Amino acid sequence: MTVVLVSALLGIALAGAILYLVRRDHLHGSYALWWLVVAAATLGIGMFPHVVDWLGEIVGIAYPPILAIILGMGLILIRMLLMDVDRSRQERTLRRLTQRLAILDQELSDTRAKLAVQDSASAAEAPSTRKSAQVIALPKSGGEN
């Protein structure tokens, strides 16, 4: 009975921690769904431990508790594969964004250079009609006598 209680408490605690992390925006929803499935499986195995024995007998495993370990390892491998696929997609997106940024930076530099050439050409053509500024001294104002 103690093992059942501990497993059930672990499942509930894991589900609570996942919901807390989602609420605090530390864990994205799609990842949280995966972990909630793990928490539900832990809770289910904790509440009904004989299901593992029954499934082990159906599959033909001599020591049924090893079925949970095999399933757990399989799920870990699937999760790792999904993480690698997601990371590859993010790296590809980042690389494309970096290339676009470099192209836009080059276009901006070219445009600035063209504008500088146009400004210098128009400044050379226009006669200098600018007057120099005159400085006028103002008397000090205030309470001084």
Helix (H, G, I), strand (E, B) or coil at 48: coil
Q: How does pLDDT run across 26-42, given as a tens digit for each residue?
A: 888 778 888 888 888 88
Query: What is the pTM assigned to this prediction?
Result: 0.60
Q: Note the residue count of the chain.
A: 145
pLDDT score recorded for residue 101:
96
Q: List, as own/partner pairs, every contact residues 100-106 make where C-beta atoms lie below 8 angstroms and the sequence separation is at least 24, other chains included.
A: none
Contacts of 42 (CB under 8 A, 6+ apart): 7, 10, 11, 14
Of residues 3 and 12, more confidence is placed in 12
Percentage, residues of the chain above pLDDT 90: 28
Residue that has been written with the tokens 């431990």 in this structure: 49
Q: How does pLDDT run across 80-93, given as a tens digit for each residue?
A: 998 899 999 999 99
